[in-house]
Amino acid sequence: MTSPVAGPADFVTFPGAVRPTRHHWVDSYGVHIAVCEWGASENPPLFLVHGGSDFAGTFDVFAPLLAAAGWRVIAWDHRGHGDSDHAALYSWDADVRDALSVLDAITPDPVPVIAHSKGGGMMLQLAETLPLRMSKLVVIDGLPSPDPHPDVSDHEQRRFSSKNLAAWLDHRRNAAANFRKPGTLEELAKRRKRMNPRLSDEWLLYLASIGARKDADGWRWKLDPAIRFGGFGPWRPDWSLERLKTMTVPLLGLTATVEEEMGWGTNHKALEPYLPPGGRLVSFENTGHFIHIEHPRRVADMVLDFLA
């Protein structure tokens, strides 16, 4: 693999990475969502959904492989992520509503969706509530598990309390004036490496170059510091598992076998009894949470076969 090349304007390249060919905005109830696309606009639409603390650019190697197969590949930055607007408050339901706004802005027809991590959990919820909105769903290391996930809840919560809500509001007030720590692109890549130790330095440097902005005092990730993992209110992992059994949208699930800080730690064998009828589960040996980044060609071929 060749090393990235930095130009005079801090431009970094990565082998196989292709930036989106089109950019536009979708208004989701007053929040502007940044949308990007690969492939010809007349091709059938295929949606990609990123995970927590990420942005659409994480698909820059994976998406072009799907576009080359004849799809119009569409992704977006979740609220508070990437180039989308920051919001007064963040919630799981708000992210799902934003996702539906993007889908509705492109087409009213059922569409195939590929979703990673938290994005997978979001799209499972959308598929449960609006099953006719999706034709097929691929979830990359984002399926529910008997154990809690960092992208969903810091711990199992059985009831709602005023203490939970107060803690979230206090966090939002305290973080309102915060700024992310600046640094060089190399420093940002090194910080991300702590969460994604399996990803190459070259890829992480490229990721920093497209996922950060350059301020007078250095580079900062384009992620609202008010965002944090978890949610408030009742939540138990077995609720998601029971709903998964009844899902009617054709499902392909890809699971990792190497646990990482950003991963969900899904137990492949324990999940199999909860799959919906016809659901398929594929485990990637010696692979971390970002399966589509470690094995873009293999995942793309598997997805294209599933969508065919």
CA distance 308 to 306: 6
22-28 and 31-38 beta bridge pairing = antiparallel
Place of tokens 């990359």: 140
- What does the CA dihedral 111, 116, 118, 124 come to, rounded to 10 degrees? 40
Of the chain, the percentage scoring pLDDT greater than 70 comes to 85
CA distance 115 to 49: 4
For 121-137, the pLDDT digits (tens) are: 999 999 999 999 999 99
CATH number of this structure's domain 22-307, picked from the four choices 3.30.1330.40, 1.25.40.80, 3.40.50.1820, 3.90.1580.10: 3.40.50.1820
- State residue 235's pLDDT score: 59
64 vs 237, which has greater pLDDT?
A: 64
- State residue 152's pLDDT score: 46
The residues spanned by each domain of the chain are: 22-307
Most distant CA pair in the chain, distance: 55
Are 254 and 280 in contact by the 8 Å Cβ rule? The answer is no
Q: pTM of the predicted model, to two decimals?
A: 0.90
